[in-house]
């Protein structure tokens, strides 16, 4: 990248505003997290964050978030696809409600999903009677809540990319003899892949940390359905600040790693695309 001084004025003021607000809202508070966990020595820190119960908390959070995000990748692609490519009744309606999980308070979502999926809830009793599957108070329940939370991410990142793909490419591929499946895997999929990854990573990171909706639907049983954010709460309740902040720090690290992976993937993809052109 050739660095040159921009002729556009206003660098100072925009940099000033950005850094000031970023510092007050994000950076300084995050620093106190580091300061508080630094009260433990390194070996204490490692011990605190690797106790079996804590490890199982991470595992529950990460595994359910992963499955939920995978479901959302599949459903997100389908939803984006039908919204961009098809005309049908109720399209605007579907397009409109995608962001509902953003707008609905997570606690409200959690409460109503719990009531729906207990063994005598509207949906829960069907599954319980037909298949003997219990949803609420199990990991399935947690996954259900996380699917709800993560719906908008993949749809909204794939949709604009899909809109920009010229239908002529596909028609060209079709004329050249490719069937629908090949057209999708060879022409469309590579184009939307970066968007899928970006949607997936955001949804995944968001789901790992989700608390409000999950705490109602999870049974909160240690080693079974106890999520990592709940462990932070329970350490706090034991007045153990350094333990709570240590777990929080690990989760923060996971978030940063996930975001960085996404950033690297996006950068390499854009490089590849630009290189081709």
CB of 56 to another protein, least distance (A): 10
CB of 275 to another protein, least distance (A): 18
Residues 19-38 contacting another protein, CB under 8 A: 21-22, 25-30, 32-33, 35-36
236 is an interface residue for another protein by CB under 8 A: yes
Position 66 contacts another protein (CB under 8 A): no
Q: Among residues 133, 187, 252, 265, which is the contact residue for another protein, using CB under 8 A?
A: 252
Could you say whether residue 55 binds another protein (CB under 8 A)?
no
Residue pair 255/206 in contact (Cβ under 8 Å)? The answer is no
**Cβ–Cβ under 8 Å, residues 206 and 150:** yes
Residue at token pair 């106190």: 32
Which parts of 200-219 interact with another protein (CB under 8 A)?
Answer: 202, 205-206, 208-212, 215, 219
Binder of another protein out of 182, 221, 271, 272 (CB under 8 A)? 221
Q: How far is the CB of 142 from another protein (least distance, A)?
A: 13
Interface with another protein, residue 127, by CB under 8 A: no
Nearest-approach distance from CB 64 to another protein, in angstroms: 14
Span 73-92, contacts to another protein by CB under 8 A? 75, 78-79, 81-82, 86, 88, 90, 92
Contacting residue, 49, 60, 73, 109, with another protein by CB under 8 A: 109
The CA distance from 89 to 212, in Å, is 34
Tokens matching residue 9: 């004025």
Shortest Å distance, C-beta 148 to another protein = 5
Residue list 138-177, contact with another protein (CB under 8 A): 144, 147-148, 151, 160, 170-171, 174
Q: Check binding of 126 to another protein (CB under 8 A).
A: no
Q: Rounded to an integer, what is the distance from CA 113 to the centroid of its chain?
A: 19
- What Cα–Cα distance (Å) separates residue 87 from each residue in 165, 180, 204? 17, 19, 30
Q: Which of 97, 182, 261, 272 binds another protein (CB under 8 A)?
A: 97
Count of residues touching another protein (by CB under 8 A): 114
Q: Is residue 15 at the binding interface for another protein, with CB under 8 A as the rule? A: yes
* Number of Cβ atoms within 10 Å of the Cβ of 64: 26
């Amino acid at each position: 990248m050739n660095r040159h001084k921009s002729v556009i004025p206003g660098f100072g003021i925009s940099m000033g505003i950005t850094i000031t607000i970023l510092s007050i809202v994000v950076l300084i508070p995050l620093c106190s997290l580091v300061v508080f966990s630094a009260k433990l020595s390194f070996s204490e820190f490692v011990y605190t964050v690797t106790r079996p119960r804590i490890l199982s908390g991470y595992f529950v959070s990460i595994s359910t978030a992963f499955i939920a995000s995978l479901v959302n990748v599949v459903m997100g692609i389908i939803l984006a696809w039908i919204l961009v490519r098809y005309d049908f009744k109720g399209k605007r309606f579907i397009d409109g409600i995608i962001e509902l999980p953003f707008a609905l308070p997570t606690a409200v979502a959690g409460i109503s999903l719990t009531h729906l999926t207990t063994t005598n809830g509207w949906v829960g009793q069907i599954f319980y009677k037909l298949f003997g599957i219990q949803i609420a108070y199990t990991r399935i329940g947690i996954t259900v809540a996380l699917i709800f939370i993560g719906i908008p991410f993949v749809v909204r990142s794939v949709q604009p990319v899909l809109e920009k793909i010229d239908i002529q490419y596909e028609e060209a591929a079709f004329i050249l003899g490719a069937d629908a499946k090949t057209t999708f895997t060879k022409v469309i999929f590579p184009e939307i892949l970066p968007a899928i990854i970006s949607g997936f990573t955001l949804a995944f990171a968001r789901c790992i940390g989700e608390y409000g909706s999950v705490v109602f639907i999870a049974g909160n049983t240690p080693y079974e359905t106890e999520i990592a954010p709940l462990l932070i709460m329970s350490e706090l309740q034991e007045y153990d600040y350094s333990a709570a902040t240590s777990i929080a720090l690990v989760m923060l690290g996971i978030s940063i790693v996930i975001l960085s992976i996404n950033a690297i993937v996006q950068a390499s993809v854009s490089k590849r695309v630009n290189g081709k052109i």
